[in-house]
Amino acid sequence: MKMKKIFSIAATSILSLSLLAACGSNSSGGSNAEGDGAKSVSLRLAHNQPEDHPVHTSLMEFSKLSEENSDGSVKVEIFPNGQLGQERDVIELVKSGTLDMAKVSASALEAFDSNYAIFSLPYIFQSREHYHEVMDNSEAVQEIFQGTKDQGFVAIGWYDGGQRSIYTADKKVESPADMKGMKIRVQESPTSISMIEAMGGAPTPMSFGEVYTSLQQGVIDGAENNETALTNNKHGEVAKAYTYTEHQYVPDVLIVSTNMWDKLSEDQQKAIQDAAKASSESHKDVWQKAVEDSIKASEEMGVTFYTIDKKAFIDAAAPLHETYKAENENNAKYFDDFQSYLK
């Protein structure tokens, strides 16, 4: 473990130096001037999805709108496919100010701020509609998004990452008993690890880029993600049973370096915020169409989709809600706020 940690730190340091060398003159150079006269800036935004992924499509829309809204003074260059590192790497780079922006899963942010744990709590969102209501309107969400300013970054928007369910090589899972002994890949989130344990499985944290090979080689028995992972990331080639446990709706979060953000003019900040909001809204339709297309393509690959009665999984996860709320007042406040949007 010690050697692994040393390697991780070294790799991140090398990545930081490489990024600085590659992008030197293109890094953000905004001024603090308000209104007219603000310097033009070129911002770098990293994410770990392929270029045919719906989130990448919406980030391209975000880039276009940022430039349009700012009359050309803000340009956003996007680095997909984990080119600048996996999610933990790019979060570290944004924190340090080496990288301007990143799209990461809310689960990955839990390691940097425990308040993000609520987004990984199983069944905190009880439907897609409930999920959207909270993410668009909750003051608690905005409090969490702004709560990391002292760490060097804040969140300025979110993108729908769909529901997360269990998929395996060939086994339908109807209850926690069916998952006993199964090694299930999870994101590197303590809450997600506890969730799979509660649901009967053996959680196996690993980076998303390792999932395909691990499924193929039998290192893991299954994973949990939305339907697009079956096609965009080709997991449907090695996983033929997708069970709708619908245990999580974990948003993708757009984070920015405060080092960069504080150099922008107020007009530039507003241009970026408006672009994030507009692209997040249009992304909902982009995402839904992508899910429908992925289901159809996955079925052609031989994947079977199973709809089940989720009560056994909901009951198994319920104690995690009580444990979460009992930890501190903030947790209880955030939990109650999220539930207040149920209709």
pLDDT surpasses 50 at 179? yes
pLDDT at position 188 is 83
Residues 240, 257, single domain; the answer is: no
Whether the CB-CB separation of 267 and 31 falls below 8 Å is answered with no
Please indicate, yes or no, whether residues 214 and 77 belong to a single structural domain of this protein: no
Give the lowest-confidence range in 15-24, 107-116, 300-309, 314-323. Answer: 15-24
317 with 168, same domain: the answer is yes
Does residue 31 form part of some domain? no
**Judgement on whether residues 235 and 262 belong to the same structural domain of the protein:** no
Are residues 151 and 227 both part of a single domain? no
Does residue 161 contact residue 119 with C-beta atoms inside 8 Å?
Answer: no
Would you say residue 211 lies in a domain?
Answer: yes
More confident position, 188 or 234: 234
Provide the pLDDT for residue 19: 53
Residue 93, in any domain of the structure: yes
Tell me, yes or no, whether 335 lies in a domain: yes
On whether both 284 and 148 belong to a single domain, the answer is yes
Give the chain's domain count: 2
Q: What is the C-alpha separation between 167 and 231, in angstroms, rounded?
A: 13
Half-sphere exposure of residue 172: CA atoms within 13 angstroms, side-chain side: 9
Q: Which amino acid is at 70?
A: S
Is the pLDDT reported for residue 27 higher than 70? no
Quickly list H helices, the chain.
2-23, 54-69, 87-96, 106-109, 128-137, 139-146, 190-198, 211-217, 228-231, 258-261, 266-300, 311-327, 329-339
Q: List alpha helices for 211-255, DSSP H.
A: 211-217, 228-231
The domain in which residue 148 lies consists of: 2-25+40-161+251-292
Buried-exposed string 305-343: b where 16+ CB fall within 10 A, e elsewhere: bbebebebbbebbeebbeebbeeeeebeebbebbeebee
Rounded Cα gap, residues 211 and 297, in angstroms = 20
Give yes or no: residues 215 and 278 share one domain: no
Q: How many CB atoms lie within 10 A of CB 189?
A: 24
| Residues 89 and 227 grouped into a single domain | no
Residue 184 near residue 202, CB atoms below 8 Å: yes
211: CATH = 3.40.190.170
Q: How many CB atoms lie within 10 A of CB 113?
A: 14
pLDDT tens figures, 78-127: 999 999 999 999 999 999 999 999 999 999 999 999 999 999 999 999 99
Residue 46, pLDDT > 60, answer: yes
Q: For 224-249, what is the mean pLDDT?
A: 96
- Do residues 217 and 116 share a domain? no
Quote the mean pLDDT of the chain: 91
**Separation between Cα atoms, residue 119 and residue 186, nearest integer Å:** 14
Q: How confident is the model at residue 23 (pLDDT cuts 50, 70, 90)?
A: very low
Q: Report whether 108 contacts 253 (CB < 8 A).
A: no
Average pLDDT over residues 206-223: 95
37: region left, alpha or beta (phi > 0 left; psi from -120 to 50 alpha): left
164: pLDDT strictly greater than 60: yes
What number is the average pLDDT over the span 150-158?
98
The two beta strands, 153-159 and 304-307, are unpaired
Mean pLDDT, residues 270-277 taken together: 98
Instruction: Answer yes or no: is pLDDT of 284 > 60.
Output: yes
**Secondary structure class of 207 (helix, strand, coil):** coil
pTM of the model: 0.85
Give yes or no for residue 8 having a pLDDT over 50: no
